[in-house]
Chains A and B, each alone.
Chain A
Amino acid sequence: MQTIRVQGTDVAYEETDILKFDEGLIGMPQLRRMALIHYTEVAPLLLLCSLEQPDITFLVLDTSVHVPAYAPRLTANAQKQLGLADDDAPVWLATVTIASEWTASTMNLRAPIVIAPTTMRGAQIVLLDSQYQLAEPLPLGEQTAVGK
């Protein structure tokens, strides 16, 4: 078990939580190793913490649970890069941007992070022909509408 400091608290993670991003994230190519951490304090959001730059932590949402209508298509090439077998389902994560007013917080469904759970390799994919935007409302209940 190892720990990383988030909001002044040491958060534990295992070696098996570490994801490899061969190309980093878009515009942030230095982020090659990140830990995807289930942290009770923020659940069902997950922490995606850079292991190279400890000041960088994303909050992400598993879209399969919270945006079930969201079903991006992974290209064969991306599938190969991730080492995703044909019978393995990828996990699509949306990064969440926190606003000072909680109702204004958003998630990025236009450029999601996709993960191959068996190889623990990830990539950020741009959906070019998508109706989803970089800042979509979070699925918080009646006041927001997600699932186009």
Chain B
Amino acid sequence: MLVLTRLIGEKLVIGNEVIIEVLAINGDTVRLGISAPRETSVHRYEIFAEIQAANQAASQATSGPALPNVIETLAARLRAREETEDKD
């Protein structure tokens, strides 16, 4: 990991387009300003990590010996609900 020391008002640049500025430091809290192209997504790491974990859990949807029965049941319930709504 690259470690850099910056003062308030100083900046970092990542690649050619992402600029991060240290705006303020208050106790344990650092306030950062980020300039990035609109197509570059910027998230707090906790949110990124939560979604990554959710994606990893979902990506194994069709693995595991007991799961085909669960998928079959879920699909049947969803189909039944669709049919009920069509009748309504």
What is A's interface to B at a CB cutoff of 8 Å? 6-7, 23, 25-28, 41-45, 47, 50, 55-59, 61, 65-66, 77, 81, 95-102, 105, 108, 110-111, 124, 126, 134-135, 138-141
Residues from chain A with Cβ under 8 Å of B57 in the complex: 97
Q: Give A101 to B73 CA distance when docked, in angstroms.
A: 10
Residues from chain B with Cβ under 8 Å of A27 in the complex: 48-49, 51-53, 55-56
Contact across chains for B62 and A6 when beta carbons are under 8 A apart? yes
Nearest Cβ distance between residue B28 and chain A, in whole angstroms? Answer: 24
Contact across chains for B75 and A43 when beta carbons are under 8 A apart? yes
Residues from chain A with Cβ under 8 Å of B41 in the complex: 23, 126
Q: Is the interface of A mostly helix, strand, loop or mixed?
A: loop
Closest to B57 in A: A97
Contact across chains for B67 and A98 when beta carbons are under 8 A apart? yes
Residues from chain A with Cβ under 8 Å of B47 in the complex: 126
Nearest Cβ distance between residue B60 and chain A, in whole angstroms? Answer: 8
Q: Which of B58, B63, B70, B84 contacts A95 (CB 8 A)?
A: B58
Number of B residues, CB within 8 Å of A: 37
Given A98-B71, A126-B47: A57 and B78 interface contact (C-beta under 8 Å): no
Contact across chains for B81 and A97 when beta carbons are under 8 A apart? no
Q: Give A50 to B70 CA distance when docked, in angstroms.
A: 22
Q: Give A110 to B1 CA distance when docked, in angstroms.
A: 31
The 5 A-B residue pairs with the shortest CB-CB distance in the complex, in nearest-first order: A27-B52, A95-B58, A59-B61, A77-B38, A26-B51
Give the most central of B38, B49, B53, B62: most A CB within 10 Å: B62
Q: Which of B38, B54, B74 contacts A105 (CB 8 A)?
A: B74
- B59 on the interface (CB 8 Å rule)? yes
Closest to B84 in A: A141
Q: Give A139 to B60 CA distance when docked, in angstroms.
A: 21
Q: Which of A28, A101, A141 contacts B56 (CB 8 A)?
A: A28
Contact across chains for A102 and B70 when beta carbons are under 8 A apart? yes
- B31 on the interface (CB 8 Å rule)? no
- B14 on the interface (CB 8 Å rule)? no
Contact across chains for B54 and A45 when beta carbons are under 8 A apart? no
Q: Which of A97, A126, A135 contacts B61 (CB 8 A)?
A: A97
